[in-house]
Structure 1
Amino acid sequence: MRAVEAGDAAGLADTLTRNREFMAPFEPWRSEVFFTEAGQAARIEALLAERDAGRVASYVLVETGSGAPVGMINLGSIVLGPFRSGGIGYWVDRAWHGRGLATAATLEVCRIARDAYGLHRVEAGTLVDNLASQRVLAKAGFEQYGLAPRYLHINGAWRDHRLFQRLLHDEPPL
């Protein structure tokens, strides 16, 4: 896992295109441009601007050796002050499912959220029937705290989500 960089656009476009059909049931509608190198370059530029503003930290999961992207995890919606919270979202190439990558990345992002950002909690949401992602979150120490009806527009419809959180520490905000 490493921070996303501008040079990741082509590799991410390739990986996302290859996994497009597999990920469609879990993703919002994406334009054709999203799956191109130019679309990913624009997305990365926006993520880096958000990172510079302190609102997002984005990481690419890469294959050892080749450095090819096999997934991504974002810590977003970072809010400081008395809230000290953020949310995570991730995806992993279908060929790499079941190897613990999402769990390891989630654990590392929680460490970063606590140590680098001083966050008190991290939250995540999954589709109600996304049991694989729910297992990732459980293994990473998250607990379900709610159900959000019609939470996100995913694969053509407003979908219910299970909401999870992990409390990172109980120190007062700095």
Structure 2
Amino acid sequence: MPIRIFQTGLLSPPAIRVEGEGVFIRPAQAKDWEEWAALREISRDFLVPWEPTWPADALTRTAFQRRVRRQAVEWREDEAYSFLTFERRSGRLVGGIGLSNVRRGVAQMGTMGYWVGKPFARRGYTTESAKLLLNFAFGQLGLHRVEAACLPTNIPSQGVLEKAGFTREGYARGYLRIDGRWADHVLYAVLKDDLVG
């Protein structure tokens, strides 16, 4: 049975922090906007090929505040859990990770997604944050399965998933609309039992 970690009427996600060796993850707060927008802006060309099309106001304070409010609702409704990833030593924002499309009942699963800023790519931050998110998903939320998908050409992302304990399960044609086009994806999943011990 999952533990309820949020309160009714929450206007922002709860103030929790999941600690790792090199990184920690926590929900976004209004104060994160400037650092978040700056990192996303300098990483735009690096991120755009792997993400849904950015709206014109993607990096504005107003859009970020809407995002934080929406994330609070998602936490409260047990629909999604979004985090930012920070380097533990310096406290610098390095990326983000989240669990979306949470399904309960007979499924008990969710879908993991993540991003990393260009200056911090290939340093192991995303792999560690993925492991922290899995601990949260299987421990705090009581999920049984976490899924993830990435473009077949995104070899670094496949490496992140495999290092975090995911198994490649298949291939989905036209799976998600990425950078304005329907794109095929490689499908991965990990079960709680895969990580026991």
TM-score of the superposition, structure 2-length normalised?
Answer: 0.82
**Paired position in structure 1 for 2:32:** 8
CA contact (8 A) 2:42 2:118 kept: no
Between the aligned partners of 1:66 and 1:45, the Cα distance in structure 2 is 27
How big is the shift at 1:66?
5.1
- 2:175–2:183 CA contact under 8 A, matched in 1: yes
- Per the alignment, residue 156 of structure 2 pairs with 132
User: Does structure 2 conserve the Cα–Cα contact (< 8 Å) formed by 1:77 and 1:87?
Assistant: yes
> Which stretch of structure 1 is more off in the superposition, 16-25 or 135-144?
16-25
**Aligned-residue offset at 1:130:** 0.5
Residue in structure 2 matched with residue 109 of structure 1 by the alignment? 133
Does the 8 Å contact 1:143/1:165 carry over to 2? yes
Deviation (angstroms), 1:4? 2.1
Task: Give 1:53 shift.
Answer: 1.0
Aligned residue pairs total 170
Find the aligned partners of 1:9 and 1:39 in 2 and give their Cα distance. 9
Q: Distance in 1 between matches of 2:58 and 2:107?
A: 32
Q: Whole-Å Cα distance in 2 between the matches of residues 66 and 102 of structure 1?
A: 16
Shift of 1:97: 1.0
Counterpart of 2:3 in structure 1 is: none
Measured against aligned partners, the alpha-carbon deviations of 1:16-45 in whole angstroms (never above 9, x if no partner) come to 111111111101111121122221121121
Structure 2 spans left out of the alignment, 5+ residues: 1-24
Task: Answer whether contact 2:98 2:113 (CA < 8 A) is retained.
Answer: yes
**Aligned-CA RMSD value:** 1.5
Shift of 1:65: 5.5
Report sequence identity in percent: 35
Alpha-carbon distance in 2 for matches of 1:82, 1:76:
17
Partner residue of 2:168? 144
Which residue identity does 1:131 align to in structure 2?
I
- Structure 1 stretches of at least 4 aligned residues deviating more than 6 Å after TM superposition: none
Equivalent runs, 1:11-160 vs 2, <5 Å: 11-64=35-88, 67-160=91-184
Stretches of structure 1 that go unaligned for 5 or more consecutive residues are: none
In terms of mean alpha carbon deviation, does 19-28 or 4-13 score higher? 4-13
TM-score, L = length of structure 1: 0.92
Q: Which moved more, 1:85-94 or 1:27-36?
A: 27-36
Structure 2 CA distance for aligned equivalents of residues 14 and 47 of structure 1: 20
Whole-angstrom CA distance in 1 between matches of 2:93 and 2:47? 15
